[in-house]
Amino acid sequence: MKSLSLYQERDSIIHEIEPINKLLYILTTILIMIIVPSIKCAVLCMIISLMLLLKANVIKKVLPIINFSFIILISIIIIQGLFNINNKTVLFNIGKIKFYKEGMMYSALIVIRVINILCAFALLVLTTKPSDLIEDLVRRGLSPKIGYVLSSVLQIIPQMTSTMGTIMDAQRSRGLETEGKLINRIKAFFPLIGPVVMNSLIATRERAMALEIRAFSSKNKKTFLNETKSTKLDSSLKYIFIAAVILSIIWRAAIWTK
């Protein structure tokens, strides 16, 4: 059974950093981009993220993550290049279709910003086990019950997916049509999803009881089997983030006073 995750096992300093600091890194990146909304700043942030991803030896795994947003990014470039309200200056044309500079610049900012945020997130998700992230958050005050819910989702999804194939086969062998006309496919949806939903909801009752019997609702302060390891780097990172935000405010002020 595989737990759901994008985590890549590597031996790097980035992997050692506390999960909370990687979350703060994302926050800092977004904050800086809001404070200084220029392409120059976004590119700078992106270079830093890419260097860190390189250091973590996971840079190749960033592409599939960006891929999720690839089509929408392309369509943004096209639609904005063609139709942006501020479009005036023709940048280039393909046949009769004219692409405008204003729209292209606008879409470039969007694309860089999105890729930037994706890279910052990639740094977290590629170098941190989801279960470690959740446990770290619980140690820092996240409700252990919410922590439980989050980590159990990670295992429940692969489990439900693995029953999916079985159900498909079973229903097909009973003559269920899963191809062809739309109406047939719509009709097929219920016999497919029905059993999974029923089973998983009915299972929740016994699981809830089993959790109760294992002191899930205990008022005692929770302890942890695993020890934490925090590096020297971890304690200084927070100051680096604060410094970065202050620097970006100064940058913004400099733009204004110009």
Partner 1 sequence: MDKIVVENLKYKYPLTDKLVLNDISFKIEKGQFIGIIGQNGAGKSTLCQAITGLVPLFFKGAYGGRVLVDGIEVAKSNISDISLKVGMVFQNPFTQVTGSKLTVYEEVAFGLENIGLNREEMKNRIDEALNLLGIYRFKDRNPFDLSGGQMQRLAIAGIIAMQPDVIILDEPTSQLDPQGSEEVFKAVWDLKKRGITIIMVEHKMEKIAEYSDKVLLMHDGKVIDFDTPEKIFSRDDLMQYGVIEPAYTRICKAFDIKDSGLYPVTLDRACEMVVKYNEHN
Partner 2 sequence: MSKKSMWSVKFSTASLVLIPAAVGINYIGKLFAGVLKLPLWLDSIGTMLASMLAGPVIGALSGAINNIIYGLTMDPISFVYAVTSIAIGITIGILAYKGLIKNILSAVLCGIIAAFVAAVVSTPINIAFWGGQTGNIWGDGLFAILVAKKFPLWIASFLDELVVDIPDKAATLIVSYIIFKGLPKSLTNLYDNKNEIEQL
| C-alpha distance from residue 37 to each of 8, 61, 110 (Å) | 32, 27, 10
Neighbours of 115 (CB within 10 A): 20
What's the closest the beta carbon of residue 163 comes to partner 1, in angstroms? 11
Compare residues 194 and 247 and give the one whose CB is closer to partner 2: 194
203 binds partner 1, rule: CB under 8 A:
yes
Contact positions with partner 1 (CB under 8 A) in 107-166: 131, 144, 147-148, 151-152, 155-156, 159
In whole angstroms, give the CA distance from residue 170 to residue 85. Answer: 54
Contact positions vs partner 2 (CB under 8 A): 4-6, 65, 68-69, 71-72, 75-76, 79-80, 82-85, 106-107, 110, 113-114, 117-118, 121-122, 125, 130, 133, 145-146, 148-150, 152-154, 156-157, 159-161, 164, 168, 178, 182, 185-186, 188-190, 192-194, 196-198, 200-205, 207-208, 211-212, 216-217
- Tell me the torsion sign for CA atoms 153, 225, 233, 237: positive
One-character DSSP codes across 85-130: TT--SEEEEETTEEEEHHHHHHHHHHHHHHHHHHHHHHHHHHHS-H
178 binds partner 1, rule: CB under 8 A:
no
- Contact stretch for partner 1 (CB under 8 A) within 16-24, 64-72, 215-223, 241-249: 215-223
Q: What angle do CA 85, 91, 95 make, to 5 degrees?
A: 100
45 contacts which partner out of partner 1, partner 2, none, CB within 5 to 8 A by kind? none
Structure tokens belonging to residue 98: 């004219």
1 binds partner 1, rule: CB under 8 A:
yes
209 binds partner 1, rule: CB under 8 A:
yes
In whole angstroms, give the CA distance from residue 36 to residue 257. Answer: 14
81 and 103 in contact (C-beta within 8 Å)?
A: yes
> Applying CB under 8 A, which residues contact partner 1?
1, 3, 131, 144, 147-148, 151-152, 155-156, 159, 203, 206-227
